[in-house]
Amino acid sequence: MLKLVATLLFCCLALPVAAHEFHFCEDSQTVRDTLEGKWKESVAGMGLSDHTKGVVEVFVSSIGSYTLVMVYPDGRTCVIDSGMFWEYWRKDTVVEESP
């Protein structure tokens, strides 16, 4: 499941982020406090980035807003994208990789 999330994030975000250079970076606690306090979002999932070796976190609210955050190995924490209409998929709809 984490591999699927990481793949989707890479495919959907790598080009737009590079093209628009959209990054808002702060220390991890400031980003977390803002997302949890102001936007009422909490961590819904995470995965390890093959490209940066950082951790991608997905914050989601009960009304469907979401924010994607990259925590880089050097400690920088950057908002890489955000949006609305986040949906959770049932596990049985995800295609598992064969060994």
Judge whether 93 lies within some domain: no
- Domain span at 29: 2-88
pLDDT digits (tens, 9 = 90+) for 55-83: 999 999 999 999 999 999 988 999 999 99
Q: Residues 64, 15, 52, 73: what is their CA dihedral angle, to the nearest 10 degrees? A: -50
pLDDT digits (tens, 9 = 90+) for 3-33: 444 444 444 444 343 333 456 899 999 999 9
Total of domains in the chain: 1
Q: What's the order of all strands across the beta sheet hosting 24-26? A: 24-26, 77-83, 66-71, 55-60, 42-48
pTM above 0.85, yes or no: no
Largest CA distance in the chain: 43
Judge whether 7 lies within some domain: yes
**Dist. CA 49–CA 79, nearest whole Å:** 15
Judge whether 96 lies within some domain: no
Side chain identity at 89, as an amino acid letter?
W
Judge whether 99 lies within some domain: no
Judge whether 84 lies within some domain: yes
Judge whether 72 lies within some domain: yes
